[in-house]
Amino acid sequence: MATIASRALESPDPEEEELDTEITSIRAEIQNLQKRKRILTSSLLTTDPIQKLLRKQPKPQSTTTNPTDPLTTISPLVHAAGAHTSSNHHRIAFGATAFPFKDPSPTAPTTPLLGVRIDVCARNGRFAKPYYILLQSERSRAPNAGSGSTKLLKVYRHTVPAFISIAKLENAYLPRPSAKRDNANEDGDEDFSAEDEAEPAKPWKSGNRTQKQDLRGFVRELRRELVAWHMRVNAVEFLREKLGFVSEGGGSFPFDVSPDRDTGIVSLAAVSLETRYVRVEWVDGRVGRFKLSNVGVVERAVVIGDEGRDKKLEDAMTGDGGRVETVLDRLRVDVLFRSQQP
């Protein structure tokens, strides 16, 4: 009996199974359609003509509130949609927006944290997950610069990847005199000697004596660094796509790909998450590495084959402006061969 029962459990009615899969697929479709409907309604609400129309009309009537009037019931939605689009416009246009955030911890200071949101647009027109920096403001009691107590900012939490040194940026743009004094025995003296010999051209150098904090500069540099990282990643992805190493779905092929016909490259991938270095392998066993700069230029390249360094390939990589987007064109076998002939 037990065996029969278990067998019955293992293989349910095929018809039932079919119905089950059908039901789940229909449910998924319903969900998709609902999602689409919501996106469409909210995009409709945010469009300019609708916003104008709905905002203009109810104004005179709003004093005589009519609860059944569809326009009054819809107006909070319209306002929310309007506010949302304008903040989205800011996020798209400026890339950095600020917001207050209240730390829920009971022991946290009562002043809300200053949040900065950084949006970076990626290659395919989509936006990457926003990066956040939450800054804590504290009053400095130190009578510096004669302005009595000034508000000083300090990075409290952030979601910036670890290879971008927040500490360094903070040191340069958001210096805090009290913190400097704390670890003066470590690096304070060196710090001052460094300032003395510094050239005045550095933006954060001006007014270094007064230790002014430059939040704009901080965010600008941080955003630049994040964008540069995204650009590097995108560039490598672009090269991989060009070489045909990326499958339709966006992932890489599980099997070994055939080498690129023009260049003989069998693999091209970033060495690590930071995508500062890119590793290239050729079909004849040569292995190379190049360094990507923040502006998308191949800064340095090393190619090693069986007979030592391949200087010609290295020169081809870094030469001619060194743009990373065209590096494959410069590495094409026929181009290299032709340049060798004359």
Q: What is the 3-state secondary structure (H, E, C) of 120-146?
A: CECCCCCECCCEEEEEEEEEECCCCCC
Residue 105 C-beta: closest distance to other proteins, Å: 4
320: left (phi over 0), alpha (psi -120 to 50) or beta: left
The site string for other proteins over 261-300 (x = CB under 8 A, - otherwise) reads -----------xxxxxx---------------xxx-----
State which residue, 19 or 273, has the beta carbon closest to other proteins: 273
306: Cβ contacts below 8 Å, ≥ 6 apart: 285, 286
CB of 64 to other proteins, least distance (A): 28
By C-beta, is 41 or 62 nearer to other proteins?
A: 41
Q: How far apart (Å, rounded) are the C-alpha atoms in residues 329 and 125?
A: 25
What is the nearest approach in angstroms of other proteins to the Cβ of residue 66? Answer: 25
Task: Say which residue the tokens 């092929």 belong to.
Answer: 253
Q: Which of 117, 212, 323, 332 binds other proteins (CB under 8 A)?
A: 117
* Sites for other proteins among residues 168-227 (CB under 8 A): 168-169, 171-172, 186-187, 190-191, 193-195, 198, 202-203, 205, 221-222, 224-225
Rounded CA-CA distance 233/227 in Å is 10
Residues 6 or more apart whose CB falls under 8 angstroms from that of 260 comprise: 243, 244, 266, 328
Query: Under rule CB under 8 A, which residues in 3-32 are in contact with other proteins?
Result: none
Residue 191's contacts (CB-CB under 8 Å, 6 or more residues apart) are 180
Q: Identify which of residues 176 and 330 has a Cβ nearer to other proteins in the complex.
A: 176
Question: Is 130 among the residues that bind other proteins (CB under 8 A)?
Answer: yes
Count Cβ atoms below 10 Å from residue 333 Cβ, excluding itself.
12
Q: Please report, as residue ranges, which positions from 144 to 163 form the binding site for other proteins (by CB under 8 A).
A: 157-163
Please list every residue from 227 through 266 that binds other proteins, using CB under 8 A.
228-230, 233-234
Site residues for other proteins, window 61-90 (CB under 8 A)? 80-81, 83-85, 88
CB of 87 to other proteins, least distance (A): 8
Is the Cβ of residue 46 or residue 267 nearer to other proteins in the bound state?
46
What is the C-alpha to C-alpha distance for residues 225 and 165, in angstroms, rounded to an integer?
Answer: 10
**Rule CB under 8 A: is residue 143 a binding residue for other proteins?**
no
**Residue showing tokens 């905002």:** 55
The dihedral through the CA atoms of 79, 81, 85, 87 has a sign that is positive
**Minimum Å distance from CB 150 to other proteins?**
22
Number of chain positions touching other proteins (CB under 8 A): 79
- Find the binder of other proteins among 49, 70, 106, 249 (CB under 8 A): 106
CA gap 46, 88 in Å, rounded: 11
Binding string, residues 28-67; x marks residues near other proteins by CB under 8 A: ----------xx--xx-xx---------------------
Nearer of residues 212 and 332 to other proteins, judged by Cβ:
212
- C-alpha separations of 285 from 62, 256, 259 in Å: 77, 15, 12
Q: Between vectors from CA 120 to CA 160 and to CA 241, what angle results, nearest 5°? A: 105
Give me the least distance between CB of 93 and other proteins, in Å please. 9
CB of 40 to other proteins, least distance (A): 9
Query: What is the rounded CA–CA span in Å between residue 103 and residue 22?
Result: 46
Residue 101 CB, nearest distance to other proteins (Å)?
9
Shortest distance (Å) from residue 329 CB to other proteins: 25
> What totals of helices (H) and strands (E) does the chain contain, helices first?
12, 9
* CB of 51 or CB of 262, closer to other proteins: 51
> Of 5 and 167, which has the nearer Cβ to other proteins?
167
Query: Strand 287-292's sheet: what is its strand order?
Result: 265-270, 277-282, 287-292, 298-305, 308-309
